[in-house]
Amino acid sequence: MRSLTIGEVAERSGVATSALRFYEDRGLIASERTAAGHRRYPRAVIRRVAFIVFAQRVGLALGEIGEELARLPSDRVPERADWARLSRSWRARIDERIAELERLRGGLTECIGCGCLSLDRCRLANPGDRAAGLGPGPRYWMGDARPPA
């Protein structure tokens, strides 16, 4: 079985055929066509699709994923350098998001722990007032340093 139909790719990757066509439209994957105009995908497309799904879970938008894919070889197997660069940048992204979630979780604990319970006096709850000097918005949860306690 040299190449795969769109249905086979869908089944193997767990991604709907409509989504596959959509990705193709966006240039994230490519196919050849049979005489009848049906798509035929190289087996390696499974790899690319898995890559797309992975990247989405990491939090990348399709546009960014497209850029990454454009830098990866579609013909040859990715080289150590390709993968290492990607891995570094994704890891940074993942670490950032984890750090944010931990900040948020910390906020939760703190508001239980601090006893204020009001969501009102607590710095977690009204960043707009306490952090006014930092500009609008809930800054603490978004990565800014806290003001001196």
Interaction site with DNA (CB under 7 A): 5-8, 10, 16-19, 21-22, 31, 34-39, 56, 61-63
What are φ and ψ of residue 36, in 5° steps? Answer: -80, 0
Question: Nearer Cβ to DNA, position 72 or 116?
Answer: 72
Largest CA distance in the chain: 72
Of the candidates 20, 98, 91, the residue with the CA atom closest to the CA atom of residue 62: 20
Question: Nearer Cβ to DNA, position 7 or 128?
Answer: 7
- Residue 4 pairs with which residues in a beta bridge? 41
User: What's 72's DSSP letter?
Assistant: S
Instruction: Determine if 124 is a binding residue for its own copies (CB under 8 A).
Output: yes
Task: Identify the H or E element spanning 147.
Answer: none
Task: Identify the H or E element spanning 30.
Answer: none
x/- binding map, residues 10-49, to its own copies, per CB under 8 A? xxxxxx----------------------------x-xx--
Of the candidates 5, 4, 7, 27, the residue with the CA atom closest to the CA atom of residue 15: 7
Question: Nearer Cβ to its own copies, position 24 or 126?
Answer: 126
- Give dist(CA 96, CA 91) in Å, integer: 8
Question: Nearer Cβ to DNA, position 14 or 73?
Answer: 14
Residue 147: both structure tokens together: 């003001």
Residues numbered 64 to 103 that lie near its own copies (CB under 8 A) are: 77-80, 83-84, 87, 90-91, 94-95, 97-98, 100-102
* Chain contacts with its own copies (rule: CB under 8 A): 10-15, 44, 46-47, 50-51, 53-54, 57-58, 77-80, 83-84, 87, 90-91, 94-95, 97-98, 100-102, 104-105, 107-109, 111-112, 117-120, 124-129, 132, 135-138, 141-142
